[in-house]
Structure 1
Amino acid sequence: MRQTTIENIAAGRRERRRRWIIVNSLLLVLACMLCIGMLMMGNTIYPPGDVIRVLMGESVDGANFAVNTIRLPRMLAGLFAGIAFGIAGNTFQTMLRNPLANPDILGITAGSSVAALFCILILRTSNTTISIAAVIAALVTVVIIYVLSKGRSFSVGRLILVGIGVQAMLGAMISYLLLIGAQQDIATAFRWLSGSLNGSQMNAIIPLMISVVVCAPIVMILGKHLSILELGEESASSLGLNTDRTRILLILSSVAMIAIATATTGPIAFVAFLSGPIAKRLVGAGYSNVIPAGLVGLNLVLAADLIGQFAFEVRFPVGIITGILGAPYLLYLLIRMNRKGSL
């Protein structure tokens, strides 16, 4: 009987691992297809052979400028921003054990947006300064939310409510910056606020690429600890986990990625909110959700950008499309949580 139980547990583990590998492989294949599609499609559609030749350094009439200068930076910006939003959103949702506890709802993205807009409209600084300011503003926002929500005991519900209030205040600051900004910069600011990959340049996305390459592996390494944190403070501590150190590392890594992604592409709506739940439903329980959430995030951004560019007569920024996809899910989640008494 005991041997049968052990065999069943081992079989279940193998099945969960097989599902995790298959889902991630399919998401990776889809991501490669979307990347190729973004490099091929535009005002002129180039065949895959020409795109590959350009990427290999060969000269192809008419294709070099379009692929290297316009489409490749746009694709890389969407790819790395999607990974950053997906992993950061999943980290906050898992760590705080609430699907509403993501950077969009908590106001962290809004904090980065205020700093980035101030640098763009008022100071007119370089992209590096914008990224640094966005990270600092995001960290300050996290500290403010934590301090204001801290009571006799930690409450996720109270933290979310405080985050929503902070987000509203930061939204008012964004409106004020738009009012006092120079008229010629307002159109650019509105396009950036909607979340857009338009005008992406290689030098501007380098900080984003560095942040993802450095911070994403940290979150992946701590993926098992993240799952333990989901069990609760007491359970995690009883299992020997240093909860404070783990949370600090996860928060710093996630905030750095989300802030620099926001500074680079603007606040692409609902990607951080949707990626974790979608990935969890696809891979199921039993394995870390970090890598699937990153893959779902990049697929959402790239697919939404292609839809925004080519599915309508008018071209829409990527954030408009993700907002249309995410808003119904947010309403559904709020209704479901209200019925369960989680709000």
Structure 2
Amino acid sequence: MSATEQTRPARPTPPGASGASGASGASGAAVAAGGFHVDRMSRRRRAAIVTGSLAAVCAVLFVTSMTVGSVLLPPLDVLASVLGLGDPSTDFIVRGLRMPRAITAVLVGLALGASGAVFQRLLRNPLAAPDLIGISAGASTATVAGLTLFGLGGIGLSAAAVAGGLGVAALVFLLAWRGGLVGTRFILIGVGVAAGCESITSFLIARADITDARAAMTWLVGSVGMASETDLVVLAIAVLVLLPAAAAWTRRLGVLELGGDRASSLGLRVDRDTVVLLAFAVALVALATAAAGPIAFVALMAGPVSARLLGRAGDRVVVAALAGAIIVQVADLVAQHALPTPISTGIVTGLVGAPYIAWLLVRSGKERA
């Protein structure tokens, strides 16, 4: 350094410059914090509007399903009967004949929608629905075995369905696990296991007597009108317990979507959380299958519907559950009243879901290209 440089006086800082720079930094931080707060409030508002709107649509469809039929009833009379304030003739139609089916449609839709959202988010693939990766097939095989081999019913049949669903889920999980859970591998192995379960189901039906075989075939089509009172009670308890539990784990589910390594670095126990979420989803879909049979494609469609409605806002599990309930209710109304002859609910969802899968595959291929 030269003598001139050594003796040159330091350039004075303009008065208020450091204060201005600090003020400008604080102002930028305040603006960023304000923007984050506004964005969070906007997402919360959107989530509340979407959830409330879907719940209202679900309630309207619930009342509508008990209004229409061979005897048309005024909605106010239906509401009075639901609340226990109707006359005996209306109560017989509403509470005795139509309400069990309507409740089954809501509960089955809630269970299937929530389970589909959990599977799709956990495996990060829109095709990861329980009816495509073997869970519903495993529950169906166990239920058909209970019907044709052991004459089970009620709680025994529900227990068989849960055992079949959990067994298949554990098998697919073990076969797909290679130091982590890869969605594509899980789905492909699940499709193979589902094909095996369907073969076993066909064998059981072929070997059963004609009465059991007819009952099993009717059940395999899927209809919300088949659930017994015991099935409804078991399914209602499961939905009331497992759906809030799955919703409570939504934050963990969001972190798990980042991948196993990132989730571990953020403090999650990936293996434990994955197994717990899978158990919630499997139990929901297995009990729904035991109550109404394998109603196809509801779990597949509910998750993308909730994602489209919410964007980045809110709890997709709850919204997907409500979307599933709406899909099942609409499908059952169409199956019972829109055609000259009533058909099963599963036929309607199958007719809608098959083109949806084709569209989903075409879109995925275009995105990869």
TM-score normalised by L of structure 1: 0.95
The answer for the alignment partner of 1:5 in structure 2 is: 32
Secondary structure of residue in 1 paired with 2:312: coil
Residue of structure 2 in register with 1:126 after alignment: 153
Letter aligned with residue 170 of structure 2 = V
Which stretches of structure 1, 4 residues or longer, exceed 6 Å deviation after superposition?
Answer: none
Q: Tell me which of 179, 187, 191 is aligned to 1:164.
A: 191
* Amino acid corresponding to residue 87 of structure 2 in structure 1: V
Q: Tell me, what secondary structure is at the counterpart of 2:131?
A: helix
CA drift of 1:312 comes to: 1.0
Structure 1 residue 184: Cα displacement: 2.3
Give the greater-gyration-radius structure (CA): 2
Cα distance in 1 for partners of 2:165, 2:214 equals: 24
The one-letter code matched in structure 2 to 1:87 is A
Partners of 1:310 and 1:23 in 2: CA distance:
28
Question: In structure 1, what is the equivalent of residue 132 of structure 2?
Answer: 105
Q: Distance in 1 between matches of 2:89 and 2:206?
A: 41
* Residue pair 1:305, 1:317 contacting (<8 A) in 2 also: yes
Q: Distance in 1 between matches of 2:200 and 2:95?
A: 37
CA shift, 1:58, in A, is 4.4
Give matches, 1:19-58, under 5 Å: 19-58=46-85
Given the alignment of the two structures, is residue 212 of structure 1 paired with residue 239 of structure 2, yes or no?
yes
Give the RMSD, CA atoms, in angstroms: 1.7
**Structure 2: runs of 5+ lacking an equivalent:** 1-27
Structure 1 residues 49-94: Cα deviation after superposition (integer angstroms, max 9, x where no partner): 3223323334625322221122111111111111100001100110
Any conservation in 2 of the 1:69–1:201 contact (CA below 8 Å)?
no
| 2:204 corresponding residue in structure 1 | 177
Native 8 Å contact 1:115 1:133 kept in 2: yes
Q: Which is worse superposed, 151-160 or 39-48?
A: 151-160
Is 1:254 matched up with 2:281? yes
Unaligned runs of 5+ in 1: none
The correspondence for 1:331, drawn from 336, 344, 358, is 358
Which of 141, 145, 155 pairs up with 2:182? 155
The 10-residue stretch of structure 1 (213-222 or 238-247) with the greater mean CA deviation from structure 2: 238-247
Partners of 2:46 and 2:313 within 8 A in 1: no
Tell me the TM-score normalized by structure 2. Answer: 0.88
Contact 1:16/1:286 (8 A) holds in 2: yes
Q: Is the 8 A contact 1:54 1:64 kept in 2?
A: yes
Alignment length (residue pairs)? 342
2:111–2:321 Cα contact (<8 Å) kept: yes
Distance 2:107 2:305 in 1: 18
Residues 59 and 20 (structure 1), Cα distance of their counterparts in 2 relative to 1, 3 Å cut: closer
Distance in structure 1 (CA, Å) of the matches to 2:349 and 2:167: 27
| Residue of 340, 355, 368 corresponding to 1:313 | 340
